[in-house]
Amino acid sequence: MAAGRGSRYGKLKQFDALGPNGEFLMEFSMYDAIENGFDHIVVITQKTNVGFLTDHLSTRLPNNIKLDVVAQELNDLPKGSTFNGEREKPWGTAHAVWSAREVIDDSFVVINADDYYGKSAYKKAADFIKANTTDYALAGYTLKDTLSEHGSVSRGVCKMDDANNLLSVNERTKIERISDTIKDADSGLEFTGDELASMNFWVCNPSIFTSIEEDFKAFLKDDSNIASGEIYLPFVIQEMLENNKIGVKVIPSGGEWFGITYASDKEKAMADLKKMAKEGGYKSPLWN
């Protein structure tokens, strides 16, 4: 997903040159996915970026990899649905995924373009898909390893049973480390830091498109949502889980995550990518 506006970052961070040779962060995710057997890349972005991204990526990705760049558009609505009023921002992450419904017909992974998830997450996702044709999964990251030094972050904290089946994802919108404490300023809850958090790395199958459409229709009927409301992917999955439509397994990622929330996160991300390339984790330049 690369359709965000980068409001806290100050620009479109998905297209910032963070790699040692000017690569976008999403290109490292694509590289890791391809290494683990994924052969179809779908990028969801704003309409104005479709041509640019198609040209940029088609000259870099291996010839055997299918590429679709899809626009998330405000007027892409379920049949029979309309909305009145004005709106500028996209409809949210669930709608972004739904925008790709015409080009996806098999199990797939959803990620954010401005996050780095680590190689092991893609290996575990690929193994899960090979063994499960109907279930969903979520790559979980240790909460203390997902914080920013430069401000609070929003994190979905996972609740699971003893077999790592997901029970719920509780969104905490202002989590930060204060001295030796990790706390959510909104709820006042404190965390040990060892909890698993969702960083929006989901393994889904096409059944998600029907559920998103149903939820989106209901969403559009509420006029209070039109100006700025969003329909979020974790909320749709949570509803499917609660209605026993799916099971979701939480898979500890086993790797490092970092993201670009604030402009000041950029320096560390660039240093990390440069170090990984220097140590042989990635080719440099990434694509030949």
Per-residue pLDDT tens over the stretch 50-71? 999 999 999 999 999 999 999 9
> Virtual CA dihedral for 16, 118, 175, 94, nearest 10 degrees?
70
Among the listed residues 236, 229, 212, the one whose alpha carbon sits nearest the alpha carbon of residue 89: 229
Quick check: bond before 285 cis, omega within 30? yes
Residue 83 CB partners (closer than 8 Å, separation 6+): 77, 220, 226
Question: Is 200:111 a contact under the CB 8 Å cutoff?
Answer: yes
The structure tokens listed for 261 are 């929330």
pLDDT value for 13: 64
Question: Is 165:249 a contact under the CB 8 Å cutoff?
Answer: yes
- In the chain, domain spans: 13-278
Higher pLDDT, 256 or 94: 94
Among the listed residues 143, 49, 116, the one whose alpha carbon sits nearest the alpha carbon of residue 270: 116
pLDDT value for 15: 85
pLDDT band at 204 (very low <50, low <70, confident <90, very high): very high
- Between CA 226 and CA 221 the distance in angstroms is 9
- Between CA 285 and CA 158 the distance in angstroms is 37
pLDDT band at 4 (very low <50, low <70, confident <90, very high): low
Architecture of the domain delimited by 13-278? Alpha-Beta Complex (3.90)
Among the listed residues 227, 242, 216, the one whose alpha carbon sits nearest the alpha carbon of residue 77: 216
Which residues on neighbouring strands pair with residue 66, listed in sequence order? 40
Among the listed residues 128, 100, 106, the one whose alpha carbon sits nearest the alpha carbon of residue 42: 100
What pTM did the predictor assign?
0.91
pLDDT value for 5: 53
**What values do phi and psi take at 93, rounded to 5?**
-70, -35
Note the Cα 24 to chain centre separation in Å. Answer: 15
